[in-house]
């Protein structure tokens, strides 16, 4: 019946607006339900904790409670004994921290369970909660980041940010730079060259952006800057959406050397002069090299006025065609009795 209908000129725009409104309403609804669910589990966890402290509620009573709740709410997931114990731990872990309680309400229960099972300190919990929210990680991505100990990777990073950046930007900048980048997805050989490394990153840019943390936008490779009729080229150029500044990345397939910092300072100066927009903050540099002597990096960055971080990268030399035949961690544990 609508085959011969004359569509008004503004129909497509109106359809797009309605679709966006529906999607936003669905997201807001999901977010509200999730917040209420996490709050409910916190209350249940509080109740169990108090009952065990003040009365004769042993583990067996909690097991019975789980069965009775499942009978009362047939078909409703979430009331297994294991999950109720998670609720108790959730309450005990976050009860003294309103900040963590607020953040935990913004992510799914599955993500909350992963974080509280893995993290041992409040600072570590806060890191993963904030990163999960800011980067819109999936639960699978979060699990991978936890297994790779992302927090410790960032905690160990080497930068001079605390000395040269404004206090409001320091923490965000520090959390944006890792100590080591996992480039297994590049399938590099031991004798790879810088151009091969760069080509691999650009050809897998989505994976590399995920490895960087999700708040970076890729602007280009071999970005040209000029001085006195001579041309220079920045390996990779990014933009950080929260810091609102350019990120200059230099790739090195050799061990870190102090002269790498001198070159980076030049690139940062020229990037600010020729590439930075008026409303953007001063550029930040990241030198990603194959190896580094941590003491040498520390001394090299000590009196540098430009914000620079020095990281390393690791990679797997086993081609994916062979790697797929290796047993998974779970299979290995089962077969070898670990």
- DSSP string across 100-169: HHHHHTTS-HHHHHHHHHH--SHHHHHHHHHHHHHHT--HHHHHHHHHTTHHHHHHT-EE-HHHHS-HHH
At 108 the pLDDT is 92
- What is the rounded average pLDDT for all residues in the chain? 89
In the chain, what percentage of residues exceed pLDDT 90? 66
| pLDDT tens digit sequence for 223-266 | 999 999 899 999 999 999 999 999 999 999 999 999 999 999 99
- At 164, the pLDDT band (50, 70, 90 cuts) reads very high
Domains of the chain: 11-148 (no CATH), 156-321 (3.40.1350.10)
8 A C-beta contact, residue 258 and residue 308: no
- The Cα 288–Cα 203 span in angstroms is 18
In the chain, what percentage of residues exceed pLDDT 70? 93
- At 5, the pLDDT band (50, 70, 90 cuts) reads confident
Residue 136 region by backbone torsions, left for phi larger than 0, else alpha for psi between -120 and 50, else beta = left
At 1 the pLDDT is 52
Identity of the highest mean pLDDT range in 5-9, 27-31, 55-59, 201-205: 201-205
At 134 the pLDDT is 83
- The Cα 139–Cα 112 span in angstroms is 10
Return the minimum-mean-pLDDT range out of 44-48, 130-134, 308-312. Answer: 130-134
At 6 the pLDDT is 80
- The Cα 84–Cα 53 span in angstroms is 16
- The Cα 321–Cα 291 span in angstroms is 27
3-state DSSP call for residue 265?
Answer: helix
Closest CA to 250 of 221, 229, 224, 276: 221
Q: How many CA atoms lie within 13 A of 143 on its CB side?
A: 7
- At 27, the pLDDT band (50, 70, 90 cuts) reads confident
Q: How many CA atoms lie within 13 A of 95 on its CB side?
A: 16
**DSSP code, position 241:** T
Residues 6+ positions from 132 with CB-CB distance below 8 Å: 107, 111, 115, 142
| pLDDT tens digit sequence for 319-335 | 554 445 444 444 434 44
DSSP for 86-104, written as a single string: HHHHHHHHHTT-HHHHHHH
At 323 the pLDDT is 47
At 330 the pLDDT is 45
3-state DSSP call for residue 233?
Answer: strand
At 336 the pLDDT is 35
For residue 225, what are the β-bridge partners?
Answer: 232
Q: What does the radius of gyration of the chain's CA atoms come to, in whole angstroms?
A: 25
Which carries the bigger pLDDT value, residue 96 or residue 249? 249
DSSP for 40-56, written as a single string: HHHHHHHHHHHHHHHS-
Is the model's pLDDT at 115 over the cut of 90?
yes
- At 56, the pLDDT band (50, 70, 90 cuts) reads confident
Is the model's pLDDT at 202 over the cut of 90?
yes
pTM over 0.75: no
Residue 293 phi/psi, 5-degree rounding, is: -90, 115
Mean pLDDT of 267-292: 96
């Amino acid at each position: 019946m609508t085959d011969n209908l004359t569509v008004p000129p503004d129909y497509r725009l109106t359809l797009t607006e309605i679709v966006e409104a529906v999607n936003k309403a669905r997201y807001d609804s999901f977010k509200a339900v999730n917040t209420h669910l996490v709050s409910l589990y916190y209350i249940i966890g509080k109740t169990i904790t108090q009952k065990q402290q003040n009365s004769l509620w042993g583990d067996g009573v909690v097991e019975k409670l789980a069965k009775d709740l499942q009978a009362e709410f047939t078909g409703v997931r979430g009331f297994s004994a294991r999950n109720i114990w998670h609720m108790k731990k959730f309450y005990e872990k976050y009860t003294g921290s309103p900040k963590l309680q607020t953040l935990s309400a913004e992510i799914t229960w599955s993500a909350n369970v992963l974080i509280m099972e893995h993290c041992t300190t409040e600072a570590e919990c806060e890191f993963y909660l904030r990163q999960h929210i800011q980067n819109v990680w999936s639960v699978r991505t979060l699990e991978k980041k936890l297994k790779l100990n992302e927090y410790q990777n960032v905690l160990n990073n080497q930068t001079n940010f605390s000395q040269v950046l404004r206090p409001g930007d320091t923490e965000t900048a520090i959390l944006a730079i890792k100590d080591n980048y996992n480039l297994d997805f590049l399938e590099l050989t031991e004798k790879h060259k810088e151009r091969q490394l760069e080509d691999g990153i650009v050809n897998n840019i989505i994976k590399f952006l995920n490895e960087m943390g999700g708040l970076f936008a890729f602007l280009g490779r071999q970005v040209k800057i000029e001085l006195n009729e001579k041309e220079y080229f920045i390996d990779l150029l990014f933009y950080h959406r929260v810091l609102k500044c350019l990120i200059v990345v230099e790739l090195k397939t050799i061990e870190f050397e102090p002269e790498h910092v001198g070159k980076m300072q030049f690139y940062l100066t020229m990037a600010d002069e020729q590439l930075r927009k008026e409303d953007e903050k001063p550029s930040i540099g990241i030198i990603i090299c194959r190896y580094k002597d941590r003491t040498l990096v520390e001394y090299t960055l000590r009196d540098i006025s430009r914000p620079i971080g020095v990281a390393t990268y690791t990679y797997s030399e086993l081609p994916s065609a062979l790697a797929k035949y290796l047993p998974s961690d779970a299979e290995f544990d089962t077969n070898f009795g670990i």
